[in-house]
Amino acid sequence: MNREEIERELIQRAGRWTSGQDLAEALGISRAAVWKAVESLRAEGYEIEASRRGYRMRSAPDLLREEVVKAGLATEFVGRTFIYHPTLASTNAEAKRIAPSAEDGTVVVAEVQTAGRGRMDRPWSSPRGGVWMSVILKPDIPPALAFRVNIAASVAVARALAALYRLDVKIKWPNDLTVGEKKVCGILTEIGAEMDTLDYAVVGIGINANLDPASLPEGWKATSISREAGGDIQRVELVQRALEELERCYGKMKTSFDLIHQEWSSRSSTLDRRVKIITRSCEFEGTAEALEADGALLVRKDDGSMERVLAGDCVHLRSAMDEEA
């Protein structure tokens, strides 16, 4: 208990000296207990100086701990309840478990997932160094509009990656974020609903932050931020920014969704491409002509007919123009 309190105090006063006496008095504990808590923080990788002037935090380890993320988080409700786990099977599974009684905006984060999942129960590789988190949202919208949450999340994370690391992030339909056609982030939105009410949406966001894409199977065409940005990044800042952008996009979801939809379209790498669509029931090729506001992709088949695809996978093919070039 003392450890968490000292951690919070030192993070709030990072870079400034605080006397052991002040800390002990503020928390109603002995100076020896302060010292013990400082020692246990150091053992976890915190750099804390000690001198006659007291203690000064120089750096915190790059862990997505509640106290550290919340200390600089400029949101009203997203991430205000922030649940940190060193390891979980899947943050989406845990978020769904707690969703019925959770506050709107609750975030579940894990440093490592042992059974991370993608769409259609595919595996999602989640080693240390990535950002694996799920946000529980309770929008007052009918279940039929739940796809909006997914679109808002794609736009939000794309904004965060573009703003923080100047990456040219594209959205590949339906919701992969890519850099140079390689996947840097995957999003999985799952809902709990009755016939006409949405109880919750759990938005699972997996970002390959500081990891070596060579450690993932080559066929996955994956990349990471550290690879694209040329070095490790601060994951805490990334989580904060992504949650802030998510709150902003989520706020527009009900009143001005067309703005989010427009941004989604303008960041799309799928539009105007030749694509192969694979759904549960069929496979076909064509040209991606439009992204509709309900998340559907409109594909013009070679026989001229138009197909609306609401769910499935999309492979980007080389365009006829590329082939001529």
Interaction pattern, residues 100-119, with ligand BT5; x per rule: CB under 6 A: -------------x--xxxx
Smallest distance, ligand BT5 to C-beta of residue 235, A: 14
User: Which of 55, 43, 78, 88 has the alpha carbon at shortest distance from 206?
Assistant: 88
Phi and psi at residue 141, in whole multiples of 5°?
-135, 155
Of 188, 288, 291, 314, which one interacts with ligand BT5 (CB under 6 A)?
A: 188
Asked if 220 interacts with ligand BT5 (CB under 6 A), we say yes
Asked if 128 interacts with ligand BT5 (CB under 6 A), we say no
Pick between residue 117 and residue 241 the one whose CB is nearest to ligand BT5.
117
Torsion, Cα 37 40 42 48, to 10 degrees, reads 0
Smallest distance, ligand BT5 to C-beta of residue 181, A: 12
Smallest distance, ligand BT5 to C-beta of residue 316, A: 14
Q: How far apart are CA 261 and CA 254, in angstroms?
A: 12
Phi and psi at residue 321, in whole multiples of 5°?
-65, -40
- Count the residues of the shown chain that bind ligand BT5, applying the rule CB under 6 A: 29
Asked if 147 interacts with ligand BT5 (CB under 6 A), we say no
Smallest distance, ligand BT5 to C-beta of residue 64, A: 12
Let me know: does 79 contact 131? Beta carbons within 8 Å: no
Distances in Å between the alpha carbon of 28 and those of 22, 67, 293? 10, 20, 56
Which pair of structure tokens corresponds to residue 187? Answer: 């999003």
Asked if 206 interacts with ligand BT5 (CB under 6 A), we say yes
Q: How far apart are CA 5 and CA 8, in angstroms?
A: 5
The residue number with the shortest CB distance to ligand BT5 is 186
DSSP state at residue 30: -
Q: How far apart are CA 248 and CA 233, in angstroms?
A: 23
Q: Which residue in this structure is represented by tokens 């053992």? A: 43
Asked if 186 interacts with ligand BT5 (CB under 6 A), we say yes
Asked if 90 interacts with ligand BT5 (CB under 6 A), we say yes
Smallest distance, ligand BT5 to C-beta of residue 179, A: 11
Please give the residue ranges that form the binding site for ligand BT5 (CB under 6 A).
Answer: 90-92, 113, 116-120, 122-126, 132-134, 176, 183, 186-188, 204-206, 208, 216, 220, 222
